[in-house]
Amino acid sequence: MRPELHFDYLHARNHWNNKRVRNIIRDVLKTEKKMKDAINYKWANSHIFIDALSGKPAIIVGMYNNSETITFWNARNGIVIDSFTGKIWLPEWSNKIYEWTSQIDSGKTKCNDCGEWVNHINHYDFAGGVCDKCYNPKVHRAPDTRGD
Ligand SMILES: [Zn+2]
């Protein structure tokens, strides 16, 4: 059994706008810990998701105690989307999350170079992805899966 915490695509807008980032992280991680403790789950990995309108997970959320940075990955392919850093959660961040969930629901991924949302992504390194226009095989090396 793997505990997962799922927020819907409007959660940030409804609950996090203008709150202290440290407090949001503390509260979310406290809830996550309670879930893990309830089933005696020891892994430290993040299982925090934001679900899209479709109800499917769209975004993986990386939160760390005493940090003011939150990182986001595309839950469908593991490619990094962006990270936010600041003392206060800005309403524009909630708007971005809402937009991301709808892009991801339509099968798109954000290019890590130009920022465009595209249908086809070239996966590189651990969690990198670029569109066909930005792709350079000398720079964007395929993920190393030899250890898998
Ligand atoms: Zn691009």
Residue-wise pLDDT for 23-50, tens only, equals 999 999 999 999 889 988 887 776 899 9
For 52, phi and psi rounded to 5 degrees?
A: -85, 180
Going from the Cα of 111 to the center of ligand 1, the distance in angstroms, rounded, reads: 5
In this prediction, the residues of the chain whose per-residue pLDDT falls under 50 are none
Task: Give the Cα separation of 26 and 35 in Å (integer).
Answer: 14
**Ligand 1 mean position to 17 CA, how many Å?**
30
Residue type, 126: F
Neighbours of 119 (CB within 10 A): 10
* Ligand 1 centroid – CA 18 distance (Å): 31
